[in-house]
Amino acid sequence: MSFQMAPIRLTPAVKFFLISCVALFVIQQTGDRFLGTSLQSWLALVPSGFVLSFKFWQIFTYVFLHGDVSHLVLNLLMLVFVGGELEVLWGTKRFLKYFFTCSTAAGLLYLFFQLVIWRDTGLNTPMVGASGGIYGLLIAYGLIYSERTLLFMMIFPMKARHFVLVLAAVEFFSTVFSTGAGGVLSGIAHLGGMAAGFVSLWLKASAKLKLKGKNSPLKKRTQSSHLKLVVNQSKSGGRPDNEDDDGGSGNPPIWH
């Protein structure tokens, strides 16, 4: 079995996320421990702050904060492994649009479940982390580079598409059988990011299908076959055909 490991590419958006997340983590930890500040109340996604205090920017800024070192490192490693290659393929503009589509969907799902289901118990519980966007990148990577072989848990080789399916299944069952609200909410956010990513790719492929159908005599070709042509990527790593570059008080627990 041959391994097609992707090169590490520190593209502009990836570097921006790396620098911003590390810098804000240092500022947050230093300020909260030694200066008495509370960066989370301004930048984390807090349901009461978002809805009652109109801090709408939190739906975007929460992705730059992380709960602890392991959370930060795991997210940034995954961003480096899959984000750089997707940014090279799509261009920075489309990469950022896609990432924030996924992270925003994850944040909105979190807000919905906290406000509608958990209500009072979660109104002041912040959510931080780029995991929703990262999971969206993973679904895109699994579709585009579906035949590339990756090492699951750094041990077991499997195709990228199977790698993503395993991650989704693990996240789903972890959410279903979780005994605490934190595990449920984080799982819902992660799966929401993946779902938003898939829907985004599907809609873009469907739009291309309609555009091609107007100018092509092969109008009987099925939508699924066109989706595969648009989304799947050859092993050489080139661009898909006709791809463009559009392109409170106390310390409450944090779900991430």
- pLDDT single digits (tens) 61-120: 999 999 899 999 999 998 998 899 999 999 999 999 999 999 999 999 999 988 887 666
Cα separations in angstroms, 26 against 15, 31, 63, 145: 17, 8, 15, 35
CATH of 12-231, one of 1.10.3720.10, 1.10.287.3510, 1.20.1540.10, 1.10.287.540: 1.20.1540.10
Where does the pLDDT of residue 3 fall: very low under 50, low under 70, confident under 90, or very high at 90 and above? very low
Could you list the beta-strand ranges (E) of 167-239.
none
Where does the pLDDT of residue 33 fall: very low under 50, low under 70, confident under 90, or very high at 90 and above? confident
Q: Which of 55, 41, 60, 59 lies closest to 251, judged by CA? A: 41
pLDDT in tens, 151-165: 666 667 778 788 888
Q: Which is it for the CA torsion 71, 142, 179, 109, positive or negative?
A: positive
pLDDT in tens, 191-232: 999 999 999 999 988 888 888 777 665 455 554 444 443 444
pTM of the shown model: 0.78
Domain edges within the chain: 12-231
Segment 14-34 mean pLDDT: 92
Dist. CA 221–CA 238, nearest whole Å: 24
End-to-end C-alpha distance for the chain, whole angstroms: 36
Dist. CA 138–CA 194, nearest whole Å: 8
Dist. CA 143–CA 228, nearest whole Å: 9
What single-letter amino acid sits at 151?
L
Q: Which is higher by pLDDT, 52 or 230?
A: 52
Q: Which residue has the tokens 């009652």?
A: 52
Cβ pair 160, 146 in contact under 8 A: yes
Q: Which of 154, 155, 11 lies closest to 82, judged by CA? A: 11
Residues paired with 157 in a beta bridge: 151
What single-letter amino acid sits at 95?
F
The whole-number pLDDT of residue 180 equals 66
Cα separations in angstroms, 139 against 36, 39, 99: 39, 31, 11
